[in-house]
Amino acid sequence: MILITGGSGQLATLVATEARARGLEIAVGSHRAASLDGKRRHTDFDSPETLDFSDVETLFLISAGYAEDDVVIRRHENAIAAAERAKVKHVVYTSLTGTGDHLGFALAHRWTEQRLKRSGIGFTILRNGLYAELIGALAKPENGVISAPFGHGAISSVARRDLADAAVTILSEPARHSGRTYELSGTESWTINDLARRIGAEYQPLTLSEKRLQLRQLPLLPFQPPMLMSIFSASAAGFLQSATTDLTALISSAPLTSLDVAAKAAVA
């Protein structure tokens, strides 16, 4: 049986839907689930006693949400330790693209990759690119102007649906992909100027300092502004463009046009 964690999230929902469509036996774990049953389970990474993986052969471990590094690392440790105790055969982990080491949320991903390699469990690491939906949302224009300071570097973002497709390919035959790390950035790269032209907006980026001051006015948690700022600065420095991707080898159809996906999110 396959257990998909992060059941309340958008990626988990897409993966579960596609997995069921392909006839895989799955259950979905979520900290919001009130009860245990065959298809939905209470799995709270902050409460190790809820992590019963005794009937799980493959664990699809979706990164445990944005939080401070120590919190995410503790959550992932709890999940992997529970998988070790239950003798889970394989863990598929959604990590971060290799070009993302300059991002403010990379550390916990890299720690988790190393922890999995030490676990003795079969593993596959999916180094997912930044979601096209996220880039579009961050670049949402106001009064026809995109002000988010992405700079002019190209971004190799990817649609969530394509990442879900790739994940289910792995979940269908996990042993075939054991020990592998896949780079899953988008197959095309584009700039925020390209996005602005697509949606009929102007691109007039703020400076990083101006954006940081703007973020201080929003009801964000303390760790969130540095994470967002790291996306903007990494993009401006040209670090979010990937030279290669394994995406097309793992998905069942042609990839979605990530610029179109981002444009839809930007005008939603």
Domain boundaries, the chain: 2-267
CB 240 within 8 A of CB 155: yes
Query: pLDDT tens, position by position, for the chain (268 residues)?
Result: 999 999 889 999 999 999 999 999 999 998 765 544 457 888 999 999 999 999 999 999 999 877 999 999 999 999 999 999 999 999 999 999 999 999 999 999 999 999 999 999 999 999 999 999 999 999 999 999 999 999 999 999 999 999 999 999 999 999 999 999 999 999 999 999 999 999 999 999 999 999 999 999 999 999 999 999 999 999 999 999 999 999 999 999 999 999 999 999 999 9
Domain spanning 2-267, CATH architecture: 3-Layer(aba) Sandwich (3.40)
